[in-house]
Amino acid sequence: IFFTSGGTEGDNWVIKGVAFEKARYGKHIIVSAIEHPAVKESALWLMQQGFEVDFAPVDKKGFVDVEKLATLIRSDTTLISVMAVNNEIGSAQPIAAISELLADKPTISFHVDAVQAIAKIPTEDYLTERVDFATFSSHKFHGLRGVGFVYIKSGKKISPLLNGGGQESDKRSTTENLAGIAATAKALRMSMENLEVFITRTAKMKEIILEELAKYPDVTIFSGIEEFAPHILTFGIKGVRGEVVVHAFEEYDIYISTTSACSSKAGKPAGTLIAMGVDKSLAQTAVRISLDVDNDMSQIEQFLTTFKLIYEKTRKVR
């Protein structure tokens, strides 16, 4: 375990660090088409440095197509990166199936961005024996912002992103955020002890919201139940931009987000939905609810009552 400043640094470090460490063996990497910008942008940056990158496609529900991924693998492929849980719609990626695919390909490093998965779905679903690198961020399980960690399988090599005083076994130089690391450990312990309760409670709340939203003819639901994380629910009201819906809920002190809080400021349609083949105008309607164990049924009722009001108010623009 090596401590970082969060998921973005972790993803940058693994994508760039592994690519450069193994460059003499090959300069081809594969990332899925629905990765977080920290992975996607790192891969695009590598292309400017002379590496070749392929983006593995996803199906209409937002899952990596493992058969199509297999066809992209070449003799000079050194790294494959696929997230555990998609941050925009919550699809839990087929990490076990990809692990099987790579079982007889030991020269390819397998990286999993597990930021949205840790303490949200069972660990064995995404941290298989075949995973070589995994990235995590503290704030996703109620730790402090600005702290994260990378899991590196014993014996796997990676070039450092930060050079200097030699901290973290010379892999990440800079003075460690000791207080943040201690808080991360405590928060993770508490969250993992609560994992089963979290899954049960959030899944039930998500199911109720989905059931109700499905009754509205102009609502598009992008998140499912099977093979999806229990806490992420993404939907849209046809003809109404996501940010309009977000602000409408704010008026009632209910806080949701456009699909990815990290990139919502850019005003871009959700990358995941576009990769799924969703029309751009429909993708721009998407909003995301992130549930937690602290939410309760009275809040779900409040949300649904408020949604009905907003749905009626936006009828004119649909």
Compute the average pLDDT of residues 92-98. Answer: 98
Q: How many CB atoms lie within 10 A of CB 282?
A: 17
Give residue-wise pLDDT tens across range 154-165.
999 999 999 999
The two three-digit tokens of residue 221, written as one number: 């639901």
Q: What 3-state class would DSSP assign to 113?
A: strand
**What's the angle, vertex CA 20, arms to CA 19 and CA 21, rounded to 5?**
95
Q: How many residues does the chain have?
A: 318
How far apart are the C-alpha atoms of 293 and 228, rounded to whole Å?
A: 17
- What is the phi/psi pair of residue 258, to 5°? -70, 165
Compute the average pLDDT of residues 70-95. Answer: 98
For the chain, give the percent of residues with pLDDT over 70.
97
How far apart are the C-alpha atoms of 22 and 77, rounded to whole Å?
A: 10
Compute the average pLDDT of residues 2-11. Answer: 97
> Contact 293/206 with Cβ under 8 angstroms?
no
The answer, yes or no, to whether residue 243 has pLDDT greater than 90, is yes
The answer, yes or no, to whether residue 233 has pLDDT greater than 60, is yes
> Contact 11/38 with Cβ under 8 angstroms?
yes
Compute the average pLDDT of residues 74-89. Answer: 97
Give residue-wise pLDDT tens across range 183-210.
999 999 999 999 999 999 999 999 999 9
Task: Give 203's DSSP letter.
Answer: H
- What is the phi/psi pair of residue 145, to 5°? -70, 150
Give bridge partners of residue 136 from the DSSP assignment. Answer: 149
Compute the average pLDDT of residues 29-49. Answer: 97
> Contact 4/132 with Cβ under 8 angstroms?
no
The answer, yes or no, to whether residue 282 has pLDDT greater than 60, is yes
Confidence of residue 316 (pLDDT cuts 50, 70, 90): confident
Q: Which domains does the chain have, with CATH numbers?
A: 2-191 (3.40.640.10), 195-317 (3.90.1150.10)
Compute the average pLDDT of residues 277-291. Answer: 95
Confidence of residue 318 (pLDDT cuts 50, 70, 90): confident
Just list the catalytic residues.
262
Q: Residue 270's pLDDT is what?
A: 55
- Residue 226, C-beta contacts closer than 8 angstroms, at least 6 positions apart: none
Compute the average pLDDT of residues 16-29. Answer: 98
- Tell me the average pLDDT of the chain: 95
In Å, how far are 27, 45, 46 from 49, measured between CA atoms? 10, 7, 5
- Residue 5, C-beta contacts closer than 8 angstroms, at least 6 positions apart: 146, 147, 148, 177
How far apart are the C-alpha atoms of 235 and 176, rounded to whole Å?
A: 40
The two three-digit tokens of residue 273, written as one number: 């939905």
Compute the average pLDDT of residues 250-277. Answer: 78
Give residue-wise pLDDT tens across range 124-143.
999 999 999 999 999 999 99
Give residue-wise pLDDT tens across range 260-273.
555 555 555 459 99
Query: Burial of 163 by CB count in 10 Å (0-12 exposed, 13-18 middle, 19+ buried)?
Result: exposed
Compute the average pLDDT of residues 151-179. Answer: 93
How far apart are the C-alpha atoms of 204 and 211, rounded to whole Å?
A: 11
How far apart are the C-alpha atoms of 169 and 167, rounded to whole Å?
A: 5
> Contact 82/98 with Cβ under 8 angstroms?
yes
The answer, yes or no, to whether residue 259 has pLDDT greater than 80, is no
One-letter amino acid identity for 292?
D
pTM summary value: 0.94
Confidence of residue 7 (pLDDT cuts 50, 70, 90): very high
Compute the average pLDDT of residues 102-121. Answer: 98
In Å, how far are 36, 52, 109 from 26, measured between CA atoms? 24, 9, 12
The two three-digit tokens of residue 109, written as one number: 């490093």
Residue 266 or residue 179, greater confidence: 179
The two three-digit tokens of residue 59, written as one number: 């199906």
Q: Residue 317's pLDDT is what?
A: 81
Task: Give 268's DSSP letter.
Answer: P
